[in-house]
Amino acid sequence: MCQQTMANWVIATHERWFEDFFQRLRSELLSNEILHADETTLTVLREDGRKATQKSYVWVYRTSGDSERPVVLYDYQPSRTGEHAKAFLMGFSGFLHTDGYEAYH
């Protein structure tokens, strides 16, 4: 019960105060010529419509090391489909450094 309350508090805080900030950082990130991206698995124990044994993913996007204003953003998604990267990177025009996973094409 306490864990669920804490999680709800964190989600509500993000929705009320940090979503605009996140979108500004995303705009800054996408304005760069070179980006890096990768994804990794995690397990979410309680998520509506999903079993605790199903894999979820955190996608990470970051500016290159020589960026004047470095940005690193994490994007939780329930799957590894390329549609998530496509949606997050919409508007980006430049070079994307990845590990070659086909979802980035």
What does the pLDDT look like over 43-95, one tens digit per residue?
A: 887 777 777 778 889 999 999 999 999 999 999 998 899 999 999 999 999 99
Contact 57, 79 (CB under 8 A): yes
Does pTM surpass 0.85? no
Q: Which helix (H) or strand (E) holds 86?
A: helix 82-88
Q: How confident is the model at residue 102 (pLDDT cuts 50, 70, 90)?
A: confident
pLDDT score of 4 more than 80:
no
Identify the pLDDT of residue 77: 92
* Segment 20-24 mean pLDDT: 94
Contact 27, 37 (CB under 8 A): no
